[in-house]
Structure 1
Amino acid sequence: MRKSLQVAGVTAACALTGTLVYGAGAAGAHGGTQQAGHEPQNIGLLVGQIDDYYGARQQDDGTWTASEHSDYAKDLARVESRAKADIRQATARTGHGARGKHGGAKAKPAIVLDIDDTALLSFDYERRTNYVYNNDTWNAYVDQANRPAVFGMPELVSYAKQHGVEVFFLTGLSEPQRPGAAKNLAKAGYDTQLDKAHLFLKDKANPPAYLKDCASAAAWNCTTVQYKAGTRKHLEDSGYRVIGNFGDQQSDLTGGYADKGYKLPNPTYFVE
């Protein structure tokens, strides 16, 4: 479930179901102040802090953009730098392969990326809607395929591929949104395979067999964690080892089946 205008918590390096998680401060230099008593943060002040964090600017056409010099961009760069070092070390140790958990054959190293605010930045939508989510307007926005890349992430994908790492996208977007998602990823500079074998979306009408414990053609009952962890397990069962798992929500990272998780900053909404 997506909740509007909830600050994603800062995730320090911690062990979560066998996955080491690295995080960036979601509130940046201006957030995180504890209020006295029980009164929540004033929502008007919070919106201003989020604007400052992203370096928000409204263009002549009404589009909101983030600044590559913002605290947000700096937090991203720290996470991405750590991830590149980990990718380099993981592939150097294994010679572009990793010992699989199932049998003696080497598993191919892989990374998994969420899309919304991990690969593609939706700050323009969040700011223009005043951080209020609406299913219809969101779906129309995704289908326009005009979101920019999250700063530095296409370069991280290219870096991983140069080191022999397979790249997968795993998103909460629904199957009918596949054309817009694939088009937008390519347009934003992700030079990697974007076919059905590498781009996983929620297919509620015809869910895959590996999600049989929580989904069927009659009903989709998977939580975000069940859906994403179950898909990572499917990749592992298919001969891959997920050496890095990237998401802007903790629910992207929880559930295991990844050596390390990387929490990207996102103070604009929360997904359970």
Structure 2
Amino acid sequence: MQTLKLRSFVVSTALVLGSCMVLPSWADETSSDTKALNTQIAQSPMPHEASYDTKDLNEQLVMANLWVQASGEYKALAYQAFNLAKMQLDNYLAHHKGKKRVAVIVDADETILDNSAYESWLIGKNQSYSSKTWGQWMNAAQAKAIPGAVDFLQYAAEKGVGVFYITNRKESGREGTMKNLRELGFPQVTNSHVLLRSTTSNKEPRRLEVEKHYDVALLMGDNLNDFSKDFKTKTLKQTYAAVEKDKHLFGTKFIMLPNPTYGDWEGKVYNNNWGASAAEKDKMRKAHLHAWHPKGE
């Protein structure tokens, strides 16, 4: 998963899009889908810049966080993911003939740790994610465990499986992160098994380091980048193609957890312009929605 830290909602660096959007150099400017989307964005109403701020945009977090915290459906999907992971791990162990030990790799945020309290704290405030407040949240070590996560990883450890936590939390958050994991009962919470971000948010080098010594049975995450370098894409269209290419791995080697609150996908909605204003982000979000229109509307 890309951690919350990757969501640099720094409106002070906003680039005003005006009445039309300028595509980045990597975009397919000849694509009819791209042209249609840009036309829709340009024609959609823009909240007045002076009156629409981050506090307004944060209201859009309400339903997503409410679903995570209040719905039985979210809990059911989490249990479903970890039940499936257990079945797939048992199957892998039953047929494993390699000389290396078996391991599972899990992301932290929104895969085994629930940070919806931090996201909910932003609601009603005219501020977005920041490294300062996120650091305070990590140090507080108050994230809850995702339903089913502790039981599954304890089960894996009891089977002699190595458990590795590959997260894009920075090294500055190691103490709070490890305290949080240990207090929740997660196994193998050691410096060698908790692989935080150092020089890059790309998790591939850390995955490859684990694979030098282990056969990896499963990877679990809430973000496609938690699974493979195949998903290091720049556009939503490229992401869709990568998912189609690897669709046979979902539910077998890749186990996805639901996260409706944030992720790498959001940046692609903004054409990777994280510095867009709150009003611009609102406009781009709504332009990506496929809406039904009653006859005659």
> 1:21 maps to which residue?
none
Task: Note if 1:246 corresponds to 2:220.
Answer: yes
Which position in structure 1 is the counterpart of 2:6? 2
Matched residue, 1:129: 122
Q: What are the superposed Cα offsets for residues 68-105 of structure 1, whole Å, 9 maximum, x if unpaired?
A: x52211111221111111001111122xxx42xxxxxx
Aligned to 1:154: 150
Residue type of the alignment partner of 2:77? D
Separation in 2, partners of 1:120, 1:52: 16
Contact 2:58/2:122 (8 A) holds in 1: no
CA contact (8 A) 1:249 1:271 kept: yes
1:241 aligned counterpart, secondary structure:
strand
Higher helix share: 2
Q: How far apart are the structure 2 equivalents of 1:267 and 1:2? A: 16
Kindly report the root-mean-square deviation, in angstroms, between the aligned alpha carbons of the 2 structures: 2.6
Matches within 5 A, 1:123-202: 123-130=116-123, 132-190=128-186, 192-202=187-197
2:206 is aligned with 1:236: no
- Matched position secondary structure for 1:269: coil
2-structure distance, mates of 1:176, 1:134? 14
Q: Which runs of 5+ in 1 are unaligned?
A: 6-36, 55-65, 100-105, 204-219
CA contact (8 A) 1:4 1:268 kept: no
Q: Confirm or deny that 1:261 pairs with 2:263.
A: no
Give the conservation status (yes or no) of the 8 Å contact 1:80–1:156.
yes
RCO higher in structure (CA 8 A, sep ≥6):
2
Q: What CA deviation, in whole Å up to 9, does each residue of 1:157-211 have, x standing for no partner?
A: 0121222211011111111211111100011121x222221111123xxxxxxxx
Number of the residue aligned with 1:119: 112
Corresponding pairs, count: 196
Cα deviation for residue 48 of structure 1 reads 4.3
TM-score by length of 1: 0.65
More strand by share: 1
CA contact (8 A) 1:175 1:201 kept: yes
Query: Do the aligned partners of residues 271 and 2 (structure 1) sit closer, same or farther apart at CA in structure 2, a change above 3 Å counting?
Result: farther
